[in-house]
A and B are shown apart, each in its own frame.
Chain A
Amino acid sequence: MTSADSTLRELSFGQAINEGLRQEMRRDPNVIVLGEDIAGAAGRAHLGFVDAWGGPMRATRGLIQEFGAERVIDTPISEMGFVGAAVGAAMTGLRPVVEVMFVDLIGMCYDQIINQAAKMHYMMGGKVEVPLVIRTAFGTRGDKRSYGGGAAAHHSQTLYSTLAHIPGLKVVVPSTAYNAKGLTISAIRDNGPVVVLEHKFLGLQAKGHVPEESYLVPIGKAEIVRRGTDVTLCGAGRMVHLCLEAADALAKEQISAEVIDLLTLNPLDEETIFQSVRQTHRLVVVDEDTPVCSVARDIAARVAERAFDYLDAPIKTVTAADTPVPFSAVLEALYTPRAEQILAAVHEQIE
């Protein structure tokens, strides 16, 4: 690293999203943000309280101080209502960014997302735009502690398969502070509904250099984050870091793994995956969601249909267990994908 590199500004995942939101709100007065406790202490500025919370990752903290309560709107616990209202606002000139605190709560507003936002453009024959962003936190922690546990069945899910399944809905999953900011901005500028899934436990893994200026990370484009020749590993969000961890371990065994960060789950960047598989001849898809009807199996099916001739071994998937998310830390650690499972999958393919 040169001395210039060491002065590069680093941001956390939450700070990067915050900056993306802030820059878009400055650029376009039609961008509003709304959700539960996105500022916090709503209506209490007269008592000296503003900005008490800022969302699960503090991604919206400070926005109310710059843009005011007209554009940074704390809502009651009314997901069906405020997501639906955001759809209506998006159809009539605003570019709302809604926060659904955790993806587990998507059930409370699923109709508004899958039947209303996703299909409105199609149902109206292309005559309406729905420039709506839904930000939501997801994911398991994955580190095993002595006892206790995580947030269990209603606050730890991934569920992005249930969103990627819906035509008309774009679904993106950032993995680093850099692409979190760029994807947030791209999602806001997109004229259709985009769900941004933000992993709760990326922490230090995602922290990194983020340019101060505004920039786009394109929706619908995957990124090769490590070059390799023997096997392709692909995943999204925290799973990208798990793939990189596995790739490091494989390198010690003289196995060269290529790692693809999917970034967008729908529309999926098939070409990047196909091109990689044509060169490595092996594919392991890593998915934090449960396996049935999953993104992992969808990718496996697409590769099996379109790049089968290039494969030297059966495609492998490493997914969460096909169970609800358990509370106990020892069980949660078994539930969520682990690097050793990726290694085992590669070993099966190569031996």
Chain B
Amino acid sequence: MVMEVLPRASGLPSAERQRWMYERMSLIRQFEERLKWLVETGVPVGPVHYYIGQEAVAVGVCAALDKGDWIASTHRGHGHCIAKEVSVASMMAELFGKATGSNRGKGGSMHITDITKGILGVNPINGAGVAHAVGAALSAKVRKTKQVSVAFFGEGAAGVGTLHECMNMAAIWKLPVIFVCENNGYAQTTPFEYANAAPNVADRASAYRMPGVIVDGQDVLAVWEATVAAVARARSGEGPSLIECKTYRYFGHHQGDDTKRYRLPEEERAARERDCLTLFRERCKMQGPLATLELDEIDAKNKAAMDEAVDFARTSPLPEAVELWTNVYVPNGRLSS
């Protein structure tokens, strides 16, 4: 199979960028661990899909984007939001159904988002967000803004027809979009090897004449490197790319799912041995640029941020009853300036 390859990015991210990358990965991990603890102590937050294990994908991709670039997320979207710097306090308040939540209590986990941060939505309809990312790329091309957009999707959504339609359109129109498949191995309980005819989602790229690469999704720098190349290609008008990040979700599909019914313990153990945060810390120990002490300080700062976020969520007011009826129709005039 002929597969175009992306040119390699030269060098590493700056020390400051790497610091940001660790800070975001650590914050995602802490957000999700705190959320998991809240769920397990009986706090009702609705259905949630933990991102734990996949942090390097969201962060590696978003580290290669500008603030003005777009992403479209999935049902497993908390990590993408934090990588795009959505306030964790507003996210936690949203999960608590509070008026101060990122979506004013109307969205919950499966819609948690902040459009002002360049997120087109967290979306539990598989593959739906992929089309929105393609639309944002079309918009950027028509409006000549030089923005790029990223369509995050799971390997499960690779089964959805929308994905094929979107990849084809993006290719024929040379849209500045990057398709990022987070292949964590399982669509709910359905193993990837059962649901996909080919061994990799990236194999599809050649059919649409776009570069397709497979990346170690536990290595944030590898994800970053591939995304930098895809962003450069997109911004220069050469068209879309497909990046498949091989990763792993540590816990069930959602909080009620028991992975022991479909995964071997040794597989889970092996995956956790390649934890993205641990790999980053070990790399720093050997090569820098961050000292272990600095990394510990980042963790401590994030812990304090999570304490504040949970306090904010707990003490925030519930939505007023009238909020049921607001925002149903878009008011005329509000969006145009």
Interface positions of A (Cβ within 8 A of B): 36-37, 40-44, 47, 49, 51-53, 74-81, 104-105, 107-108, 145-155, 321-324, 326-331, 334-335
Contact = CB atoms under 8 A, between A and B. Distances in A.
A76 B105 contact: no
Contacts of B187: 36-37, 76-77
B261 interface: yes
Chain B's interface: helix, strand, loop or mixed, by majority?
Answer: loop
B292 interface: no
Interface string B148-163: 0000000011111100
A149 B44 contact: yes
17 contacts: A36-B187, A40-B261, A40-B262, A43-B191, A52-B262, A74-B194, A81-B159, A105-B125, A108-B160, A147-B43, A148-B45, A148-B46, A151-B47, A153-B111, A154-B111, A323-B324, A335-B324
Contact of A152 (B110, B127, B321): B110
B189 A37 contact: yes
Interface stretch (B63-71, B92-100, B279-287): B92-100
Nearest to A154: B124
B96 A53 contact: no
Interface in B117-171: 123-127, 156-161
A322 B98 CA distance: 21
B195 interface: yes
Nearest to B264: A47
Considering residues A81, A148, A322, A323, which has the most beta carbons from chain B within 10 angstroms of its beta carbon?
A148
Nearest to A101: B188
A41 B191 contact: yes
Contacts of A42: 189-191, 194-195
Contact of B188 (A37, A43, A328, A331): A37
A121 to B, nearest CB: 26
A147 B126 contact: no
Interface in B2-18: none
B311 interface: no
Contacts of B263: 49
B262 A321 contact: no
B296 interface: no
B46 A327 contact: yes
Interface of B: 43-47, 94-98, 101, 103, 105-108, 110-111, 123-127, 156-161, 187-191, 193-196, 257, 261-264, 318-319, 321, 323-325, 328
A147 B315 CA distance: 11
Contact of A36 (B44, B188, B196, B257): B188
Contacts of A334: 321, 324
Of residues A51, A76, A108, A321, which shows the largest number of chain B Cβ atoms within 10 Å of its Cβ? A76
B190 A37 contact: yes
Contact of B261 (A49, A108, A151, A154): A49
A5 B4 CA distance: 71
A81 B324 contact: no
A40 B98 contact: no
Given A151-B46, A323-B328, A335-B324, 20 more contacts: A41-B261, A42-B190, A44-B262, A76-B156, A79-B160, A80-B161, A145-B44, A146-B44, A147-B97, A147-B318, A148-B45, A152-B46, A154-B110, A326-B324, A327-B97, A328-B97, A329-B97, A330-B318, A331-B323, A331-B324
Contact of A147 (B98, B127, B190): B98
B156 A77 contact: yes
A155 B124 contact: yes
Contacts of A43: 191, 193-194
A42 B194 CA distance: 6
Nearest to A76: B159
Contacts of A154: 110-111, 123-125
Given A108-B125, A331-B105, A148 B324 contact: no
Contacts of B196: 76
Nearest to A152: B108
A38 to B, nearest CB: 10
B120 to A, nearest CB: 15
B323 A326 contact: yes
Contacts of A335: 324
B319 A328 contact: yes
Contact of B46 (A44, A78, A104, A149): A149
A43 B197 CA distance: 13
Given A37-B188, A323-B324, A148 B97 contact: yes
Contacts of B43: 147-148
A19 to B, nearest CB: 22
B189 A52 contact: yes
Contacts of A149: 44-46, 97, 105, 108
A280 B138 CA distance: 60
Contacts of B325: 321, 323
Nearest to B45: A148
A76 B187 CA distance: 8
Contacts of B190: 36-37, 40-42, 74, 76
A40 B47 contact: no
A331 B98 CA distance: 10
B44 A322 contact: no
B191 to A, nearest CB: 6
Contact of B107 (A51, A148, A327): A327
A151 B194 CA distance: 28
Contacts of A155: 47, 110, 124
Given A41-B189, A41-B191, A151 B105 contact: no
Contacts of B110: 151-152, 154-155
A330 B105 CA distance: 10
B105 A104 contact: no
A323 B95 CA distance: 20
Contacts of A326: 105-106, 319, 323-324
A312 B324 CA distance: 33
B164 to A, nearest CB: 10
Contacts of B98: 147, 328
Contact of B157 (A52, A77, A104, A145): A77
A162 to B, nearest CB: 16
Contacts of A77: 126-127, 156-157, 159-160, 187, 195
